[in-house]
Chains A and B, each alone.
Chain A
Amino acid sequence: MPEPILQVRNLTVHFYTYAGIVKAIERVSFDVYRGETFALVGETGCGKSVTSRALTQLIESPGRIVEGEVLYYKEDGTVVDLLKLNEEQIREIRGNEIAYIFQDPHASLDPLYTVGYQIGEAMEVHGKVENIKEGIKRAIDILKSVLIPDPENRVKNYPHELSGGMKQRVVIGIGIANNPKILIADEPTTALDVTVQAQILDLINQLKEKYKATVILITHNLGVVAETADRVAVMYAGKIVEIGSVEQIFKNPLHPYTKGLLKAVPNPMTKIERLEAIPGTVPNLITPPSGCRFHPRCPFATEVCKRKIPELKELEDGHFVACHLY
């Protein structure tokens, strides 16, 4: 029986804008098991990034976590609800036990400090080193572990002196500096070229093995999911529509949205006569469709889909789907 490290229950985040309340995510629930790579996948605006940020209360005004709990199972056996912690307590966990890697390495690094300083600072803040000098020394080892060549000299470089791929390695270095238990990677390779992407994904996998960390991977790229994830949650318009192992999701997708998504992506290794497109576009989350949020685009929609919100149901071992067809 896999042991959970995170249990998310009914997580709801709303953004209070002038145009109205954007219901970015509504009652999202899922478990993440210790040591696995869990992928959150979906299109722009489906709420995958908001979900990942809400886990450690990283939601800024006008956004607010409206309800829900995020149970974090610590290694010593205690359980904490991350959403109940105050700012000081959550900061002790964030960047330490739960670390983030964001999409854009250019924006994640401070242009005024050397990369060594920035890695060292992450450790100093969490008391892993005595002072920043020692931190910079330790940064050399970290740069080595993220496979940056010539780390003794690179540690003195400023971000603008490094290429995009190298910057993302530094960002990953900051992420793993404190030996986190959970690494949340939010589109870590979207800003990079494919050949560099392959190297960065490899690196994240290696580090995960080395540090026995759990990875939560947020991406819109189904290829990246197929290649790196153990389990997958598919999100649509602020809701999770399907959860399963990577084999279950790709070989036996149940939700009409998952099915459509898989057929809409051209696989470069197979011959495709015609892609099947999903009609319509992603709905506006200020006034989301009633009932199942996918019903206006769903080829199998019936009366009940317009009225009732489908709940996640377990259809086979570990395979959940939220759809009235089942």
Chain B
Amino acid sequence: MKKVLEVKHLKKYFPVKGLFFTKGWVKAVDDISFEIYKGETFGLVGESGCGKTTTGRTILRLIEPTAGEILFEGKNVMELKGDELKWFRRKAQIMFQDPYSSLNPRQTVFEIIMEPVRFHGIEVNDPEEFVVNLLKSVGLNEMHLYRYPHEFSGGQRQRIALARIMALKPEFIVLDEPTSALDVSVQANILNTLKDLQEKHGFTYLFISHDLGVVKYMSHRMGVMYLGKLVEVGPADKIFENPLHPYTQMLLSAIPVPDPEMAKEIKAKRKIVRGEPPSPINPPAGCRFHPRCPFAKDMCKKEEPPMVKVEKDHYVACWLYAKS
């Protein structure tokens, strides 16, 4: 399968400013590597502050990484300039979480969608027809053409954002919690639309979310992040069926399941869910999960575990599976 995106040893540190000097660094993303194949959805899950959003933005060069390499269709994104960078900006798009701040309140839907099209110099014969077709493909219609964002509900705004993305015919879209601001009944609509568009146009998605149910529904493969590190990567079905990393196990046993019988079962065998994610400013030494881990050994406090392959396509960074 063709790789669309390859991330190698990506790091992003944010400085913590003191009065005169930098006091320390928030290691938001600390040495992560993964790849995304054409036409698939790669889910990225983790709790707040684990670095999933920073990862998504760094990949698109919306934030400059501290170190590491990002290859998009074989080209190093960090070295792109001029026309090539413009090409990358067109091919790789992002859909944000908050549909209330991602659309310009002073532009009509038509202007919102046409602005990037003009910027990238894409030839359109009949702009009105072009925009109407895009709106139809995301479940809106020509009635909405000259309305302003405040006239739409949250779900409709996310559809407008999606139409704007589609106008540029991208390859790769980062979906950063696209439904977190929406109600469940609306969320299902947007998720289905995203799936349909992927099937039709062959989009590749990086789907960032804290909602495990949504990630399971959307993703082919997924990665679990904890405090700036990827702790487990593999096919979504496999991770949910047989989570390897103790953090993934804790996370999965902590989700409330919308089924009372299943909930009873899960509650009965719920692993001790304990502690809270520590601050990423001074993360614990060795494996970052060791203070909360029920299986922590001496080794875990001293050395960082490497990412090892446990079965086909299923990788985990944990000393329970690695040989020192």
Distance A263 CA – B250 CA, assembled complex (angstroms): 26
Let me know if B258 is at the binding interface, CB within 8 A. yes
CB proximity to A under 8 Å, residues B225-269: 237, 240, 250-260, 262-263, 266-267
Distance A281 CA – B153 CA, assembled complex (angstroms): 8
Report whether A223 and B277 are in contact in the complex, using a CB–CB cutoff of 8 Å: no
Report whether B259 and A226 are in contact in the complex, using a CB–CB cutoff of 8 Å: yes
Residues of B contacting A279 with CB < 8 Å? 189
Report whether A198 and B258 are in contact in the complex, using a CB–CB cutoff of 8 Å: no
Let me know if A325 is at the binding interface, CB within 8 A. no
CB proximity to A under 8 Å, residues B189-238: 189, 191-192, 195, 210, 212-217, 237
Of B183, B216, B251, B267, the contact of A194 (CB 8 Å cutoff): B251
Report whether B212 and A268 are in contact in the complex, using a CB–CB cutoff of 8 Å: yes
Per-residue CB contact flags for chain A residues 272-311 toward chain B (1 = under 8 Å, else 0) read 1011111101100000000000000000000000000000
Whole-angstrom distance between the Cβ of A36 and the nearest chain B Cβ: 14
A165 to B, closest residue via Cβ:
B276
Report whether B183 and A267 are in contact in the complex, using a CB–CB cutoff of 8 Å: no
Of B47, B188, B253, the contact of A275 (CB 8 Å cutoff): B188
Residues of A contacting B259 with CB < 8 Å? 226, 250, 267, 269
Of A196, A226, A268, the contact of B213 (CB 8 Å cutoff): A268
Report whether B251 and A277 are in contact in the complex, using a CB–CB cutoff of 8 Å: no
B190 to A, closest residue via Cβ:
A277
Residues of B contacting A163 with CB < 8 Å? 276
Residues of A contacting B277 with CB < 8 Å? 193, 195
Let me know if A222 is at the binding interface, CB within 8 A. yes
Report whether A193 and B260 are in contact in the complex, using a CB–CB cutoff of 8 Å: no
Residues of B contacting A269 with CB < 8 Å? 240, 257, 259, 262, 266
Report whether A194 and B210 are in contact in the complex, using a CB–CB cutoff of 8 Å: yes
Let me know if B143 is at the binding interface, CB within 8 A. no
Report whether B267 and A227 are in contact in the complex, using a CB–CB cutoff of 8 Å: yes
Chain B: residues with Cβ within 8 Å of the partner, total of 45
Of B186, B213, B273, the contact of A266 (CB 8 Å cutoff): B213
Residues of A contacting B185 with CB < 8 Å? 43, 260-261, 264, 277-278, 282
Report whether B192 and A277 are in contact in the complex, using a CB–CB cutoff of 8 Å: yes
Let me know if B270 is at the binding interface, CB within 8 A. yes
Distance A220 CA – B184 CA, assembled complex (angstroms): 9
Evaluate whether A272 and B217 lie within 8 angstroms (CB atoms) in the complex, with A194-B47, A264-B187 already known: yes
Let me know if B274 is at the binding interface, CB within 8 A. yes
CB proximity to B under 8 Å, residues A183-213: 193-199, 201
CB proximity to B under 8 Å, residues A143-195: 163-166, 193-195
Evaluate whether A275 and B217 lie within 8 angstroms (CB atoms) in the complex, with A193-B277, A268-B212 already known: yes
Of A166, A197, A220, A264, the contact of B188 (CB 8 Å cutoff): A264
Distance A70 CA – B192 CA, assembled complex (angstroms): 42
Let me know if B104 is at the binding interface, CB within 8 A. no
Most B CB atoms within 10 A — which of A246, A263, A275? A275
B278 to A, closest residue via Cβ:
A163
Report whether A262 and B254 are in contact in the complex, using a CB–CB cutoff of 8 Å: no
CB proximity to B under 8 Å, residues A218-235: 220-228
Report whether B276 and A195 are in contact in the complex, using a CB–CB cutoff of 8 Å: yes
Per-residue CB contact flags for chain B residues 168-187 toward chain A (1 = under 8 Å, else 0) read 00000000000000011111
* Given A265-B184, A269-B240, A281-B155; 10 other pairs, CB 8 A cutoff: A195-B273, A197-B256, A198-B256, A223-B256, A226-B258, A266-B216, A272-B217, A275-B191, A275-B192, A279-B189
Q: List 7 A-B contacts (CB under 8 A).
A: A43-B185, A166-B276, A195-B277, A196-B276, A220-B184, A261-B184, A266-B188
Q: Name the 3 nearest CB pairs between A and B, nearest first.
A: A223-B256, A277-B188, A266-B213
Residues of A within 8 A of B (CB): 43-44, 163-166, 193-199, 201, 220-228, 246-247, 250-251, 260-269, 271-272, 274-279, 281-282
